[in-house]
Amino acid sequence: MSGESGAEGPKSGAGPETGAPVPGGRLEGKRVVLVNGARRKRNTYGLLRETAAFLEAEGALVEPLDLHAYAIGECLGCERCVRGAACPLRDDAEALMSRISSADGVVLASPVYMGAVTGRMKLFIDRTAAWFHRPVLVGKPSLVVATTAGSALSSTLAYLEGVAVQWGAVPAGRIGRTAQRLGERVSWREVARFIAALASPRERLSPGFGALMTYQVQRVLAEKVLENDRLHWREQGWADRTYYFDCRIGPAKRLAAGAFHALLSRRVEKTPEADLAGE
Ligand SMILES: Cc1cc2nc3c(=O)[nH]c(=O)nc-3n(C[C@H](O)[C@H](O)[C@H](O)COP(=O)(O)O)c2cc1C
């Protein structure tokens, strides 16, 4: 591992195999959750372990969340969570969500199953519908990981990244392997952006085009569709901004985000609340 890390990587001998954070690193005090949608502890898990070693070598506390180890029921489709009420299902999803929302960064990982994420990963993502409206990972970076025999790698990575963005995260890397490249270990280059983002103050982050546009969609939904979200967005100080907080956004992106928001605002009608649940 140390041979691949390069000059700026973790110091050689810094604890990849120990599973414990190395004190004094620039990620000391940071907690990163690794959300794993794979049942087997094989390909995807292997990449997660190697990613974890880099994080631990920088001092981060890494918390694996193997979704198969938890009871996660299927979403009932009632949309109560979206309206700000508690989910009626009593299982482990809420505890998992609070571990994710309180972390400093998130890694989302899944093998490709039938061209997409595993059922277990999707089951969990469905349970986080409220986060698409009231994001909880604002200002925190995300890294996505996927493995596949051959197909759908980039679409699966893009899907996982899109989910993290809708949870409010700033995307900071993708790690993917097809069967031919499975032997290739995770490199420092693949985790460097995520580690830098975890170590930086959020004002130095730079949300990409996709994250900025997703923000405009969420903002218009909060303005026009759900009363509860409107209040939340105002309380959080998100309502009249280009992005959730001040950070590095170039003039072209700022202009595009403003134009997209204006267009969406004109297109989306104010929706009566009752229509949402088909009442
Ligand atoms: C049910 C199932 C569905 C799969 N679907 C695909 C697929 O659509 N495309 C593909 O290239 N590989 C597919 N694979 C192969 C896995 O994505 C690949 O072996 C992956 O690396 C397994 O990761 P794991 O070791 O973490 O379980 C599938 C495997 C299984 C078991």
Residues 198-240: pLDDT tens digits? Answer: 999 999 999 999 999 999 999 999 999 888 899 999 999 998 9
Q: How many whole angstroms from 43 Cα to the centroid of ligand 1? A: 10
Q: Check pocket membership of 98 for ligand 1, CB cut-off 6 A.
A: no
Question: Any residues with CB less than 8 A from the CB of 28 and at least 6 apart, and which?
Answer: 21, 59, 60
Comparing 16-30, 116-130, 147-161, which segment has the lowest mean pLDDT?
16-30
112 CA: nearest ligand 1 atom: 17
Per the CB < 8 A criterion, the answer to whether 242 and 249 are in contact is yes
Q: How confident is the model at residue 136 (pLDDT cuts 50, 70, 90)?
A: very high
As a dihedral over the C-alpha atoms of residue 72, residue 73, residue 76, residue 81, rounded to 10 degrees, the angle is -30
Q: Which 3 state secondary structure label does DSSP give 91?
A: coil
Q: How many whole angstroms from 173 Cα to the centroid of ligand 1? A: 21
Q: What is the pLDDT of residue 10?
A: 40
CATH 3.40.50.360 placement within the chain: 2-201
Q: Looking at the predicted structure, is the pLDDT value of residue 29 above 90?
A: yes
Helix (H) or strand (E) holding 231: helix 227-236
Q: Check pocket membership of 44 for ligand 1, CB cut-off 6 A.
A: yes
Angle ∠(66,70,75) on CA atoms, nearest 5: 110
Global confidence as pTM: 0.91
Comparing 11-25, 123-137, 256-270, which segment has the lowest mean pLDDT?
11-25
Q: How much is the average pLDDT of 173-200?
A: 97
Q: How many whole angstroms from 183 Cα to the centroid of ligand 1? A: 16
The two structure tokens encoding residue 120:
């277990």
Pairwise CA distance, residues 278 & 270, whole Å: 16
Q: Check pocket membership of 51 for ligand 1, CB cut-off 6 A.
A: no
**Could you tell me the sign of the dihedral formed by the alpha carbons of 42, 101, 62, 27, in that order?**
positive
Q: DSSP strand E in the chain: where?
A: 31-36, 61-66, 105-111, 141-147, 170-177
CATH classification of 2-201 is 3.40.50.360, yes or no? yes
Residue whose C-alpha is closest to residue 28's, from 198, 173, 257, 266 = 198
Question: Any residues with CB less than 8 A from the CB of 69 and at least 6 apart, and which?
Answer: none
Q: What is the pLDDT of residue 18?
A: 47
Pairwise CA distance, residues 199 & 25, whole Å: 10
Q: Check pocket membership of 180 for ligand 1, CB cut-off 6 A.
A: no
Q: How confident is the model at residue 272 (pLDDT cuts 50, 70, 90)?
A: low
Tell me the best of 43, 148, 155 to mutate to test the pocket of ligand 1, counting ligand atoms within 8 Å of each CB and taking the most. Answer: 148
As a dihedral over the C-alpha atoms of residue 260, residue 261, residue 265, residue 270, rounded to 10 degrees, the angle is 120
Residue nearest to atom 18 of ligand 1 (CA): 148
